[in-house]
Structure 1
Amino acid sequence: MSTPTPRTHRTPRPRRTLGVLGAGKVGTVLARLAVAAGHEVLIAGSGDSAKIRLITQILAPGATPVTSREAAERADLVILALPLGKLATVPADALEDTLVIDAMNYWWETDGHLEEFSAASASTSELVQERLPGARVVKAFNHMGYHELEDLARRPDPSAEAITADAKPRAAIAIAGPSPDAETVAELVDELGFDPVLIGELTEGVRLQPYAEAFGAHGDAASLMKTVDRFPATERGREVMAALSART
């Protein structure tokens, strides 16, 4: 079911304006990678943008601190990198017809006990889509820790005409979401320095959530595909699949 995106030829891609909602560890790492890839980056914390100005200068130089609403309104693509429990602070109305990457995870220790997110049948990205009905949600960047995102990123050489078959594989990022938005996110994943692995529709994001074997994975595309594909045969996978079947 999982498919890596082939890296056979580099074509110039337009410079995007990316909005990163969340100025914590994951948000600032993704902002740095996006700036290095040549994109305009708008980063937002909670409240006044002045509160994260110093953080941005130190941890995400080149990014512009703004409010969440300004990031949502101006960006071509928005990354949600804030605690899932703060989803209600995201300006949903400003994300109408906007491609949104859900890089969040549910942690009750941080987010508080939220029944809809804690059930075994909870597909958190689908719940995010329900809360942001006008947005086009794709799940990515949630299964790799911020240290690995920082250390393992290897951006493509824009001067290279082609990628040889024996090139050393990069670390891979799994993507769950509908076409063609998932393919757009795959392009960004590649630009930020990882091999994208498309695993199917948004519902397949359960294979990437905490307690799944793929959560924490930072290997290459082939190993990530195997891990994602064997999810139904794992203890956690059987629990989740049974809960999903009971829900329907």
Structure 2
Amino acid sequence: MTPHPGRRRAGRRSLVALLAGVVALLAAAAPAQAAAGYRYWSFWRGTDGGWAYQQQGPAVSVPPDGAVDGWRFAVSPDGGQQAAQPRAASGFAAVCADTPAQPGRKRVAVVLDFGTAADSGSAEAPPEQRNACATVVPNATSAEVLAAVAPPLRYDGNGLLCAIAGFPKAGCAEQLGAAAEPSAPEAGGDGGGPDVGLIAGGALLAVLAGGAGWQARRRRTS
């Protein structure tokens, strides 16, 4: 028996509605991920064309003579490359021109950008941007370079740099945005609440299963 045309149209409308619901759910998940960010000091290497994100941490990076280390405090996404860059120029000569070379030492320019009032996240006003020329031993790391020109530095228990020249006075790489709001741990989860992607994936499977069942019923009745 051929299904009534009205029933076929109703089945198609139901399938389309379910698919539209899944698309909406996936779209709703994206802004929550994008809203997340961190307030922290990002680390940069000066180049002829500007700034390149440092792939090594300051305790590992050993800048050569004539290098430029840049630091920027800001609210930035995790992952490094999309972090806020120092707003000052990255040239070595502009910073170290008045610092003479010394035998057995190296010079490293340091550019410090303390960010904006909005970046600070508190009533604490950020210091003005400033530059310094460090004269250190050849094997000094970027962490040692920074300690020579911008004390005091503050680190957390995991060795993460939290403050340069005492700024900020408190906090360390706080996560911000919708994704930062903790929720009750779910069974079998990681303590971050239910995963919207998993929910949407389950809904999509339900839609596909429903569509397959509808097609099977159509074949049986046709």
Q: TM-score interval w.r.t. the shorter chain? A: under 0.3
- The structure that has the greater radius of gyration is 2
RCO (CA 8 Å, sep 6+): is it higher in 1 or 2? 2
Q: Pick the structure with more helix per residue.
A: 1
TM-score, normalising length: structure 2: 0.23
TM-score (norm 1): 0.21
